Amino acid sequence: MTVQSGLEGIVVAESDLSLVDGSQGYLIYRGCWAKELALHQTFEETVFLLWYGRLPTAGELKEFRSQLAKERRLPASVVEIISRIPRQTDMMSVLRTAISSLELKGASWPPTVDQGLSILAKIPTIIAYRHHLLKGTPVPEYRFDLSHGENYLYMLSGKVPVAAHTRSLDSYLILTAEHGMNASTFAARVVTSTQSDLLSALTAAIGALKGPLHGGAPAEVENMLESIGTSDQAESWLRERLDQGEKLMGFGHRIYKTRDPRAEALQIVARDLAPEEPWFQLAVEVEQTALRLLHQRKPDKSLHTNVEFYAAAVLRAVGLPKELYTPTFALSRAAGWCAHILEQAAANRIIRPQSRYTGFIPEL
């Protein structure tokens, strides 16, 4: 029995949700290039695509947006729970606890699109409520007339965002909505395979995304760029970290052996959003310098820019604080999690791999 550490290279399911081709740098959602979706479609359209297998008509999109807006309100019991969580608790733990405390109509097996829609709609409200609670500021009432991403930015700032910020956030949400059998998605499918409910599967997924090896990198990229400060400091700073054997955040990926297509799209988004912004110029300089140094130091490894690098630039540009980067990742990835939960349930078999025993065997 061969053990594949980390299940690397092991195919555990057939799926028509996405193609992640690491050698070619492809990312496809339901037959559509993710990059094209990010540059030309809305987040709601992409969620509809993932859940229904096609892009919506104008009428379907209007109805879908309306349904999302109607589900944004949190039950008073959940608001109370969020209020009682200790202040020092990180936002992902708050989100996990809040999601697990929700109730869904007909939450028994099998999961439904309506259940997923109800949870997806509430995640921005949970994040915004906790954010304002910690700041001691009033929580803006959600707006029925705003899109999913637009309402999220509005609830965080109290101001309707400019169109460029909404478009840029939508691009980020689309590009991080789905990515094959990653750790959090696999966790959701494992729980679903036991015929547990959708809330339990999403709670498991959030727990996995909370881990720094999965969901925490954009904030670390921003920390790196802040520490570097200016372009003329980039090379010496990066060389020092590499000399100390440290990893450079925003570079390298388990799957991609070429440039992450999501990074390519987000660079375009960041450039269009703030082409003259010193922060963007710094990011470009750091990327170029880091890639050159990585190629010199590790010519045998395919280390390229990943999605987290330019995600940091985009999220900062639209006004999100660093502590909300990973929760915002969860906000988007919930769309993909729900798609996988529905797919797993449709042709379910309990996921039950094996382990190889290496311990002592007593005498008979």
Q: Which residues are catalytic?
A: 253, 308
314 in Cβ contact with 273 (< 8 Å):
yes
Please tell me the distance from the alpha carbon of residue 245 to that of residue 247, in angstroms, as a whole number.
7
122 in Cβ contact with 353 (< 8 Å):
no
CA 6 centroid distance within chain = 21
Nearest to 94 by CA among 330, 355, 362: 330
Long-range pairs for 150-156: beta carbons < 8 A, 24 or more residues apart: 151/69, 151/72, 151/124, 152/124, 152/127, 152/128, 152/328, 152/331, 153/318, 153/319, 155/124, 155/125, 155/128, 156/127, 156/128, 156/131, 156/319, 156/320, 156/324
295 in Cβ contact with 251 (< 8 Å):
no
Q: For the residues of 275-316, what is the DSSP string, one character each? A: TT-HHHHHHHHHHHHHHHHHHHH-TTS---B-HHHHHHHHHH
- Location of structure tokens 């070619």: 24
Q: Residue type at 251?
A: F
CA distance from start to end of the chain:
24
Residue 173 buriedness (CB in 10 A; 0-12 / 13-18 / 19+): buried
| Total Cβ atoms within 10 A of residue 188 | 30
Q: Residue type at 111?
A: P
57 in Cβ contact with 73 (< 8 Å):
no
